A and B are shown apart, each in its own frame.
Chain A
Amino acid sequence: MRRVYLDHSATTPVDPEVAALMMTYYTEKYGNPSSVHSFGREAKQALEEARRQVAELIGAEPSEVTFTSGGTEADNLAILGTAEALSKKGKHIITSAVEHHAVLETCEYLEKNGFDLTVVPVDEEGIVSVESVKKAIRPDTILITMMHANNEVGAIQPVAEIGKLAKEHGIVFHVDAVQSFGKIPIDVKAMAIDLLTISSHKIYGPKGVGALYIRKGVRVAPRIYGGGQEKKRRSGTENTPGIIGFGKACELASQRMAEDAQHLSKLRDKLMNGIVETIDYVKINGPLGDKRLPNNVNVSIQFVEGESLLLSLDMLGIAASSGSACTSGSLDPSHVLLAMGLVHEIAHGSLRFTLGRQNTEEDIDYVLEQLPKIVERLRMMSPLYDQAVHAKQAQ
């Protein structure tokens, strides 16, 4: 059976070049970077080379990069670390309604522990308005935390404008760039970003590795205490093979970004247009064109439920994801789609395809051949489809 992986925002395969390099650091150059001997020194040297590769992709100095176990830890370090460092200055935090749970849950934890939280809304495309952030700023605001690009609908936020705003008010600005990093350019200086979360396994690197960029001079209290690695910001023996793989993945991303973006946006538009042309009662979720990540497609297919779509696609070898309640582990569908103003029943029928470097035109053709048949089968079973068709006929 043909297998088509269209869930690259969940995770990506590790590039073979990355995996091969990592293997050396498991079996041959396995020293602890903190050790004095030659085994330690060669590991340390490779670790610092990886730091340089990561820093280069975001326009930072290597010394400003702190490695973590992934995006979630970097988000926690940024938010909790800033809150602790600045709690005497103020206790107000601003975030958006469409953040990843790693940010939202962390902010909500702080809210339960004496901090004030303002969650700014998004428009129907999932984009935050700079004006609403401006209005939310108070004298005691210490942190604005906002994602660069949304993981569900691919909406790219105006981070440079928000960064400028934060800078004018002396507020720390944290950006979760897990989804945009390696796909679209990021320049922490030009965007006035103080803290930036990035992750390795979304860019063809290994899982279990991420980093937090901490602009020189910005104070972040550590969350993990111990041997004082990563300039005391994140103790624990470094995941050397993982970090070195992450560095290599950054180097490859930097070389391939323009080519990838062109390839992916072409496939993205082919898939989006194809779905709209072959299936009735569908809605594209999120913005179009340059305001959308080049690899994200998100559609709501009315009168059918997301998990049923996923199961049916999976039986044909197609891997996607959905914002339906059944796949979110709660009774409510995706908080992102609801924040964009979608009603529950439309959000339940959402389907996300996130494309990757290895996808081809043939992959998209295969989806466009199978999806309409799946939708037709599920709609034949759906009492809602009958009602809609009857209502239309009655008009």
Chain B
Amino acid sequence: MYTEKVMDHFTNPRNVGEIENANGVGEVGNAKCGDIMRIYLDVEGDVIKDVKFKTFGCGAAVATSSMVTEMVKGKTLDEALEISNAAVAEALGGLPPAKMHCSNLAADALHAAIKDYHEKQGKKE
């Protein structure tokens, strides 16, 4: 039901964990629906220097989280904001139709983390 790429990211997820003193953190989903994704960003200047995630959820939820962190590492914030949930799914070689809505939220978590970063920066200024 899952592509090899999804299974690879599920089995060997990239960038799992937390970033101490992350300057942007985003969380989407809820335990009730069975998926929570949290993304930590270390942004320097305009560039995502480091990114990590923690996810509670199914295989697709873990794989999309892992994939999105790989896609944005080293990218500028503007570039990162252009990544959509659909693009993450595509990069994984597709997801089963049922998973496209419920477990494909990794880009949303990323965008929430960038929003959090901007808000924190705004307060500092």
Residues of A at under 8 Å CB distance from B?
Answer: 303-308, 311, 315, 324-326, 329, 331, 333, 343-345, 348, 380-386
A–B complex contacts, Cβ < 8 Å, 27 sampled:
A304-B56, A305-B34, A305-B57, A306-B58, A307-B58, A308-B10, A308-B57, A311-B2, A324-B58, A325-B34, A325-B102, A326-B34, A326-B59, A326-B103, A344-B33, A344-B34, A345-B32, A381-B16, A381-B55, A381-B62, A382-B55, A382-B56, A383-B27, A383-B36, A384-B36, A384-B56, A385-B56
Say how far A330's CB is from chain B's closest CB, in angstroms.
9
In the complex, what distance in Å separates the CA atom of A324 from the CA atom of B55? 16
Known: A307-B59, A325-B102, A329-B98. A382 touches B54 (CB 8 A): yes
Q: Is the CB of A303 within 8 A of B34?
A: no
B13 within 8 A of A: yes
Closest to B38 in A: A383
Interface string of B1-39 (1 = CB under 8 A from A): 010000100110100101000000001000111111010
Within 8 A of A (CB), among B48-65: 54-62
* Docked pose: A171 CA to B58 CA in angstroms: 45
Q: Which residues from chain B contact A382 at a C-beta distance below 8 Å?
A: 54-56
CB distance from B120 to the nearest CB of A (A): 19
**Closest Cβ–Cβ distance, residue A308 to chain B (whole Å):** 6
Question: Which residue of B is nearest A380, CB measured?
Answer: B16
Q: Which of A306, A331, A333 makes the CB contact (< 8 A) with B102?
A: A331
Query: In the bound complex, how far is the Cα of B55 from the Cα of A383, in angstroms?
Result: 6
A315 & B16 in contact (Cβ 8 Å cutoff): no
By secondary structure, the B interface counts as mixed
Determine which of A308, A326, A344 lies in contact with B31 in the assembled complex, contact meaning CB atoms within 8 Å.
A344
Alpha-carbon distance A328/B80, docked complex (angstroms): 34
Q: Which residues of B contact A (CB under 8 A)?
A: 2, 7, 10-11, 13, 16, 18, 27, 31-36, 38, 54-62, 98-99, 102-103
- Least CB distance, B49 to chain A, in whole angstroms: 22
Bound together, the chains give a CA A345 to CA B91 distance in angstroms of 29
Whether A308 and B58, one on each chain, are in contact in the complex, defined by CB atoms closer than 8 angstroms, is yes
Shortest A325–chain B CB gap in Å is: 5
| Contact B32 A381, beta carbon cutoff 8 Å | no
CA of A202 to CA of B95 in the docked complex: distance in angstroms? Answer: 32
CA A333 – CA B56 in complex, angstroms? Answer: 15
Complex Cα distance, B103 from A324, in Å, reads 13
Please measure, in the bound complex, the distance between the C-alpha atom of A345 and the C-alpha atom of B18, giving whole angstroms. Answer: 22
Distance between Cα atoms of A329 and B62 in the complex (Å): 18
In the assembly, what is the distance between CA of A380 and CA of B62, in Å?
Answer: 12
- Contact A325 B33, beta carbon cutoff 8 Å: yes
Q: Check A386–B54 contact: CB distance below 8 A.
A: yes
Residue of A nearest to B37 (CB): A383
Whether A308 and B36, one on each chain, are in contact in the complex, defined by CB atoms closer than 8 angstroms, is no
Measured in the bound complex, the distance between the Cα atoms of B56 and A325 in whole Å is: 13
In the complex, the answer to whether A315 meets B56 with C-beta atoms within 8 Å is no
Neighbouring B residues of A344 by C-beta, 8 Å: 31-34
With known contacts A304-B56, A311-B10, A381-B54, A331–B33 Cβ distance under 8 A: yes
- Among B32, B54, B62, B98, the residue within 8 A (CB) of A308 is B62
- B11 close to A305 (CB less than 8 A): no
Residues of A within 8 A of B99 (CB): 326
Closest to A347 in B: B34
Chain B contacts for A345, CB-based, 8 A: 31-32, 34
| B59 touching A308, Cβ below 8 Å | yes
Nearest Cβ on chain A to B109's Cβ, whole angstroms = 11
Closest to A348 in B: B34
Contacts of B55 in A (CB 8 A): 381-383
Q: Give B33's nearest chain A residue, CB to CB.
A: A331
User: Given A331-B102, A381-B13, are A324 and B34 neighbors across the interface (CB < 8 Å)?
Assistant: yes
